[in-house]
Structure 1
């Protein structure tokens, strides 16, 4: 949708002054919201693969006479390319910034609730600048502040090795999962600073899409294991992703690190500090090119027993996480699109249209025992399933979508509601609100082929009320009644969402004709079967219990 922007000066109290913009509709000329782009939430580290630094208490953004100018975008971590979603504009390794969208008018007595949104992109690409909340704030009753942070991605955000571990220990830090630590830093900044924008830092709804939803899972797990006094999350939306399997071990991460060194022609015989010196001096474009060329080209989380506990999935199985969710009354909206697999099949598909090529591609994401188990479950005879046209996009897209969304999401809910001890946690069912999208807004055609149907990411235009695109008047009533009204109630902490489901095996489903039905999940048993099979693999050593438990 076309918009008009006018400068807007905002006092942030002890944080100084910023000058953002007031966004208005280009057609109606009605003001929609205030916007502040590229607000710093942390200072950059002294070197790559170190933790960002918390803003000092004396940090200010500007003065009344010389305010920080923030009408534009956040810096974006250098990243891999995908379709037209990863342009090089705005690339900056100092990407510790967020965009803040603020409702018009005076905030309520306790401040507006906060919708904290983590962008997706397989943890390899993506940008907070791709999400637009102006219409959501200006044309609905959302009345919440929206915060969208940038964070480190790919090898810049998720590289791990013993060399990096020793380097981090020398400055008293843990290593790996820097992208997750960045997100947590932005969450803590939001808790501590959003009041200067009129927000309530104790009422944060943590949301994310795709890899952002995957991030929500791990941010939520980290938050649940923190003391109550340090908890940040009040509600969570896990849109089109889930917990999958315990993230890779340090040993597998070391193999990936060694492959990267080889691709960059850095000798493995060099001392650790020299390896890191050369890596840190490598231009990010060169680093990214090498990272995409190796077998283990997906740079995702590592089980570091700091951000991600060694026994995390056991805390799912034995009800620890479920009991903590109930104790803190943290509710979850989670669900899927009907045709997730079409978009998934385009992300670095197998180079060969063979079963072996598909297996090789999956090994870039998942440990070998997991992939071997998947091969036995999905392709017991080694033949292409009848409902698949080929191995390299269709079969790959379907199994990838099952692992990222469909089956693992059902397994996650199964684990929460039916612990391994067969003693479900009382009260957990009432915290889970499931949905299924089978309806597509016409504005999604701007970025995703109509032939893909209700594929992955099409519903972002529903949750974000067009996400910057114009919604037809005939469509607004449909998505308002079906999804957005309940979503708004959720963000505001209301008890009755009008969701209509009765139990965790039911899904509020928006049908192709715009009607809403409550669907008894026919895919439940298959999802749980695959989840159980992967949980029985036992490829990880849990190595003791974290003191944070």
Structure 2
């Protein structure tokens, strides 16, 4: 959807003024919503691999005569390209900003509910500037503020080591998971400041797609550690992802750090202060290039005992997580696309051999987990009849199972076993809208990310009239009701084994989950592997 932009000055009371825009449909000149880009939620840390700083109470965005310019893009963390589409506008490590989309008119009593959306990208790439909920607000009827934060990614957001731990201890900080801490900073900023935009801080839905959905799970887990009066998350959407296994331990993270030192020719025998000094003085482009060249080239969360407890997955097993969720009555919408595997297959694909496939999976998962899932998928070590090759087809399938299909069902199993099945709203999408062709080949079918054009009502493109009718009835109206906090969202499922399914012909059916038994077989096998320990650091 093409839009025209009209300047819009917004007073944020004690926070001063920001200059945004009101977006209008170019076709009809109908106003859609207000937009603010690059709204700072935190101050940058003094050095790499430190926590961002909360905005002081005295922080002001600008004056009425000289408001902060918030009519453009949000800052983007340095990152690799995906599918040969590099971000053309430049990177900065000072990416502590959000885009904020606000409905037109006066807010209701108490304020608009808030949709806090975390972008995806394997935690390695991505940014808020590729998302547009303008039509969702201005045409589909979502009466909610949408906040989309940028956060640190890849080596900048998820590097962990004993050296960084030593450094963090000198300033009284925790170490690692900086990207998750950035998201939390943005979430706390939203709680503390969204009222200035007309939002209701007590009605925040945290949502995410892909790695953003993965992030949503960990943000929810962290939020559940707090007393009710300090919690932020009211509802959650986990779209096309889920937590697979307990994140790596510090020993495994150290292996990756040491590989990075080697790639940059930084001697391992140097004092920790000198190692970090050299790493921090390395230009971001050089650091990123080295980080993606090592064997463990995927930078993922670490069980740091602060943001991520080493007993997190045990709390899923024993029902404690589900009981906390039920006590707080946090509802979760979660589901998948039919053909997730096609897009997953293009992210750092292996060579066409089983050993290469194993090595690729080790970049994401602990060794015992990788060996277990390979035995489950390929018990005789041979390429199964359903797969054409190891490097694309087999990799895409097993990766999609771990990222979405199997592990999301495992999470559902754990929550239902703990008594929280009544909080779950499951879906499956088998329908593709035409405008998805702008970014994803039609031959990939209903693959990972094609449904973002559904959830975001075109996501800047235009849905056909018949598509609008289909997706509104199937998903968008219930989703809007969910974000608005309505109790009965007309979902239709009656158990955690059922999925609200948007079929290829556009019909909506509630169906039994045909993939359940196989997924739970894999989930239980991985739970028997146990949590990562120091031995898992060995490849």
Please state which band the TM-score falls in when normalised by the shorter chain: over 0.9
Q: Partner residue of 1:110?
A: 110
- 1:435-487: CA deviations, max 9, x gaps? 00000110000000000000000000000000000111111010000000000
Deviation by residue 1:262-307 (Cα, 9 ceiling, x = unmatched)? 0000000100000000000000100010011100000000010010
Aligned pairs (5 A) from 1:28-43: 28-43=28-43
Q: For 1:84 and 1:462, locate their aligned partners in 2 and report how far apart those are by CA, in whole Å.
A: 24
1:387 partner SS: coil
User: Per the alignment, in what secondary structure is the counterpart of residue 475 of structure 1?
Assistant: helix
Show the counterpart of 1:24: 24
1:545 — aligned with what? none
> 1:383: which partner in 2?
382
| Offset at residue 540 of structure 1 (A) | 2.7
- The CA deviation at 1:176 is 0.2
Alignment pair present for 1:483 and 2:475:
yes
**In structure 2, what is the Cα distance between the partners aligned to 1:394 and 1:339?**
12
Offset from partner CA, 1:56-94 (integer Å, 9 cap, x none) = 001010100111111101100001111155414231100
Report the Cα distance in structure 2 between the residues aligned to 1:284 and 1:534, rounded to whole angstroms: 37
CA contact 2:366–2:532 (8 Å) conserved in 1: no
Q: Distance in 1 between matches of 2:286 and 2:415?
A: 43
Partner of 2:537: none
C-alpha deviations, 1:18-56, integer Å up to 9, x for none?
A: 110000001011000000000000000000000000000
The correspondence of residues 160-309 of structure 1 with structure 2, limited to 5 A, is: 160-309=160-309
1:454 aligns with 2:446: yes
Provide the C-alpha distance between the structure 1 equivalents of 2:403 and 2:306, rounded to a whole number of angstroms: 24
Q: 1:445 aligns with which of 437, 455, 477?
A: 437
Aligned partner of residue 225 in structure 1, secondary structure:
coil
Equivalents in 1 of 2:436, 2:90: separation in Å? 25
Q: 1:357 corresponds to which residue? A: 356
Question: Secondary structure of 2:293's match?
Answer: coil
For the residue of structure 2 that corresponds to 1:314, the secondary structure is helix
**What is residue 494 of structure 1 aligned with on the other side?**
486
- Contact 1:16/1:63 (8 A) holds in 2: yes
Counterpart of 2:426?
434
Checking the alignment, whether the CA contact within 8 Å between 2:246 and 2:531 is kept in structure 1 is no
Q: What corresponds to 1:76 in structure 2?
A: 76
Query: Does the 8 Å contact 1:78/1:88 carry over to 2?
Result: no
CA–CA distance in 2 between the matches of 1:228 and 1:169? 30
Partners of 1:85 and 1:123 in 2: CA distance:
17
Which residue pairs with 2:52 in the alignment?
A: 52
Distance 2:186 2:98 in 1: 8
Larger deviation, residues 220-229 vs 252-261: 220-229
Q: Name the residue aligned to 1:327.
A: 327
1:417 is displaced (CA, Å) by 1.1
- Runs of 4+ deviating beyond 6 Å: none
Aligned mate of 1:474, from 466, 479, 482: 466
The one-character-per-residue Cα deviations of 1:291-340 (angstroms, maximum 9, x if unpaired) are 11100000000010010001000111111111111111100000000000
Structure 1 unaligned regions, length at least 5: 419-423, 543-549
Q: Is the 8 A contact 1:86 1:125 kept in 2?
A: no
1:526-537 alignment to 2 at 5 Å?
A: 526-537=518-529
Gaps of 5+ in 2: 535-539
Normalising by the residue count of structure 2, what TM-score does the alignment of the two structures yield?
0.98
Query: Secondary structure of 1:411's partner?
Result: helix
TM-score with structure 1 setting the length? 0.96
Does the 8 Å CA contact 1:34/1:102 hold for their aligned counterparts?
yes
Q: Check conservation: 2:5, 2:23, Cα contact below 8 A.
A: yes
Aligned residue pair count: 534
Secondary structure, counterpart of 2:101 in structure 1: strand
1:116 aligns to what SS in structure 2? strand
Alpha-carbon distance between aligned partners in 2 of 1:84 and 1:443, rounded to the nearest angstrom: 20
Q: CA deviation at 1:541?
A: 5.0
Matched residues in 2 for 1:386 and 1:439: separation? 26
